[in-house]
Amino acid sequence: MRINILDSSVYNLIAAGEVVERPASVVKELVENSIDAGATDIIISISGSGIDSMEVFDNGAGMSLADLKVCFLPHATSKISSAKDLDTISTLGFRGEALASICAVAKVRIETAERGGISNILELDGGKNPVYTLGGRVNGTTVRVQNLFFNTPARLKFLKSARSEAQAITDTVAKLILANPEISFKYISDGETIYQTDGGGLESAVYAVYGRKAFENLIYIEASWGGISLSGYISSPELCRPNRGGQAAIVNGRSVTNSIISSAVEKAYSGLLMKRCYPVFVLNILLPFDTVDANVHPAKTEVRFSNPNGVFAFVYKNVLRALGDNAKPKSFGDTFKEADLVFGETSETTERTTSVPSVDTPIRISTLSADNITGFADSPRSYKYSGIKTAQTFSTAEKDAEQRFNLDFKPIKKPEETLFDDVNAFKTEEGSQEASSGGMFSGRVAGQLFSTYIIVEKGDNAYIIDQHAAHERILYDELMNNIDGGLSQPMLIPYVFELSPAEAGDFSELLEPLAEIGLEIDLFGQNSFKVSSVPYALTEISIKSLVDLILSDMRQLKSLKIKDLLKDALAMKACKAAVKAGDTLNESQIEALIASFGAAEKAPERCPHGRPAVVKMTKKDFEKLFKRIV
């Protein structure tokens, strides 16, 4: 085998392939250089989806002629000077490959001047034949890139459509704006201004990128603990997208793609969003520089954490807490542009709205204690369980469906313990149905619609209840409580499974927390395990499926409670046990079902899969619908 020493014209093209994947990569690298140069105003202009031309103008520090002559050489950088600097990287660009890679595959013109210095221009053609002339800039730098990939037709061939490449640049600029809200940006594509920000902070940056409608459905979040802090915006469950395009994770000022952060956020939305719906978020995470490795990818789009489990737990717990009361389904009135996003309000209560808090008055998440976060401290995890509650089964008992249904559902709380004082304040009138203990739904039951929806009238509000979704939520919450109780059922024939040596070591660490929820597993040989009892709430779930589920997310289990991982399995069990859409219910069955809603610890706002369970429609909504008021 013969070893060849590559010529610079070849290895520069290879390096360019690692850094410059598409036009958006060029924009990212150039803008990050402007940011590192201390720019406060940046203008980005492209034409022909960036392939024809890209230009980045900034008012940063600029360069002298001596620096200009070496800035495009491989591994030339002003960001680091020794190996020690790699341990605490605080700048965006540091590898020294960006300009060299860009110049190797395009025609580049750089005009730059230090404040009070002379303006110089450098022109390069594929990284060759440098030409220097005097320019007219006062300070800052302008970089123009033309005819990208003109000398690498294979790379040009594999680019996506012009529209896709332009959209990729737009997405890149959006994330740069969100990561640097104190900088004024202007982004122009083919003469049209797409984004323009004033550098006024995160609130104005988020508004500029996402627009007014989305901004009104965002929740501000702020938290800190043990050297790590989190701030930004997360979407209410009403705002979601069919992909992750609305997600921006910013780590130490760097916009990155990180599965740990996105997984933690999406885990917190479990039960609030339907499948294939993704939350929108802008999260700025600050950690000590020596706990983050930004030198993972040549394009610096990924980072690695020294404590990934701690980061996951911190983000998950705080997003979960921030959602809190903001995870409410909209009322029907939102069709009429009314900002009533609060579930369960009555005419007797103070009306609230869910709107975006300003940065001055955020929804602040208090600092978490060591007991709530694992990984950043040596404190042991604390498991606390409430009393055990027996899961109930509710179904209809119509005469024509007696074989399928058996009505035996008892409230788990007394009516007087429900949310409103007027729970029993109703009178039975001839020809009407009244729920005897319906909590927030107590009132006149107007009937069942399409054998799927129950309509309850209370004061000036009408509640339209999806009987399956609401009942599914009640059963799901009870199953989750049973998991906390730790009640288990022994298996007649134990289930034995074998793992690889590496998996067996990790799995052994989970035996104690699994036992606390009633899942008793013991070592049964060198790398084999025996399941001898399972939680009562999971008795109808395949043991193999349950074990596979735990094995698939063992790393997350070091940061989360076991029951968080079992949400999907419990939701499926609740779905199968709940009354179904299309089941015709008689008056007594509707009454019992409504009573179960009012007696539950939590109102059935959404089913475990994220669908709304109840929609409130006010008298005013009806009056607007029928044009009684305008």
Q: Integer distance in angstroms from the first to the last C-alpha of the chain?
A: 84
SS3 content of the chain, % helix, strand, coil (to 5): 35, 20, 45
pLDDT, tens digit (0-9, with 9 covering 90-100), for 314-364: 999 999 999 985 655 444 444 323 222 222 232 332 232 233 333 333 333
Give the 3-state secondary structure of residue 208. helix
Q: What pLDDT, on a 0 to 100 scale, did the predictor assign at position 5? A: 72
Helices 308-323 and 259-268 cross at an angle (nearest 10°) of 30
C-beta separation of 438 from 595 below 8 A: yes
In the numeric block, the tokens 């690889």 are attached to 500
**Cβ neighbour number for residue 233 with a 10 Å cutoff:** 27
Strand partners, 241: 278
Q: State the maximum Cα–Cα separation within the chain, in Å, rounded to a whole number.
A: 98
pLDDT, residue 109, reads 96
CA angle 13, 19, 24 (to 5 degrees): 115
pLDDT at site 609 = 86
Residue 282 bridge partners (DSSP) = 233, 248
Task: Output b/e per residue, 417-456; b: 16+ Cβ within 10 A.
Answer: ebebeebeebeeeeeebbbbbbbbbbbbbeebeeebbbbb
All domains of the chain, ordered by start, with CATH? 8-199 (3.30.565.10), 203-336 (3.30.230.10), 386-630 (3.30.1540.20)
How many other β-carbons are positioned within 10 Å of the β-carbon of residue 348? 10
Torsion angle, alpha carbons of 100, 101, 107, 109, to 10: -40
- Residue 386: its pLDDT value, please? 26
Whether 546 contacts 569, CB under 8 Å: yes
Task: Look at residue 521 and give its three-state secondary structure.
Answer: strand
- The pLDDT value recorded for residue 10 is 66
User: Distance (Å, rounded) from C-alpha 201 to C-alpha 339?
Assistant: 25
Residue 498: HSE in the Cβ half-sphere, 13 Å Cα cutoff = 4
Burial class from Cβ neighbours inside 10 Å (0-12, 13-18, 19+) for residue 117 reads middle
**Which SS3 state, helix, strand or coil, does residue 255 take?**
strand
Q: Which long-range contacts (CB under 8 A, 24 or more apart) does 76-81 make?
A: 76/100, 78/36, 79/36
The amino acid sitting at 449 is L
Dihedral-angle region of residue 38 (phi above 0 means left; psi in -120 to 50 means alpha; beta otherwise): left
Q: How many CA atoms lie within 13 A of 302 on its CB side?
A: 8
Regions in the chain scoring below 70 on pLDDT? 6, 8-18, 78-97, 295, 297-300, 325-442, 485-486, 553-561, 598
Q: What is the pLDDT of residue 91?
A: 65
- Other C-beta atoms closer than 10 Å to the C-beta of 532 total 15
> How many other C-beta atoms are found inside a 10 Å radius of the C-beta of residue 96?
17
Residue 157 pLDDT: 87
Do 522 and 533 form a contact (C-beta atoms < 8 A)?
no
Q: Are 112 and 86 in contact (CB under 8 A)?
A: no
pLDDT tens track for 558-576: 566 677 777 878 888 888 8
* Helix (H/G/I), strand (E/B), else coil: 616: strand
Could you tell me which of 367, 323, 357, 360 has the C-alpha nearest to residue 229?
A: 367
| pLDDT for position 82 | 60
Q: In this predicted structure, what is the pLDDT of residue 19?
A: 74
Please count the other Cβ atoms lying within 10 Å of the Cβ belonging to residue 359: 17
pTM attached to this predicted model: 0.65
